Amino acid sequence: MDILIQADGVTLTDSLKDIVDEKIGRVEHYMPRALRARVHLRKVSAHPSQRQFVVHVICDLPHATISTEESGPNVISALDIVAEKLEARARKLKTSRLARRERENLHSREKKD
């Protein structure tokens, strides 16, 4: 999966790139066919606050697009929350697709009998 990182008002260091790759790359566990993840790191306010940084992630899949956004006092905490949300949505999408496939298989077996 390609991870594209864009930073506005945030210094993009190698360690921050590694953290983004590690956290957002976990989605590949649930969606191995994920094409691309676009990560936008943005500093909203110059003053320290609970919503100073915003992280927005758009994950492109062959059949859907998952988008999450979260703000936090620093980039890492906002990224942690976004990664958890993204994993939960990917898990839910995978579970629903597998359940639908099972229902279709069960329905086709009943027709054969």
Can you tell me the mean pLDDT for 1-24?
Answer: 94
Can you tell me the mean pLDDT for 88-107?
Answer: 87
Question: In which domain, by residue range, is 17 found?
Answer: 2-112
The domain that holds 71 is classified in CATH as: 3.30.160.100
| pLDDT band, very low/low/confident/very high, at 98 (cuts 50, 70, 90) | confident
- What is this structure's pTM? 0.83
Token reading at 34: 């994920």
Q: Which of 34-38, 47-51, 67-71 has the lowest mean pLDDT?
A: 47-51
Instruction: Count the domains in the chain.
Output: 1
| pLDDT band, very low/low/confident/very high, at 113 (cuts 50, 70, 90) | low
Q: Note the pLDDT tens digit of each residue in 57-79.
A: 999 988 889 999 999 999 999 99
Pick the closest to residue 27 from 100, 89, 77 (CA basis).
89
Mean pLDDT (the chain, rounded): 91
Q: With 80 as the cut, is the pLDDT of residue 29 above it?
A: yes
The sign of the CA dihedral 21, 30, 1, 37 is negative
Taking the C-alpha atoms of residue 58 and residue 89, their distance in angstroms, rounded to an integer, is 12
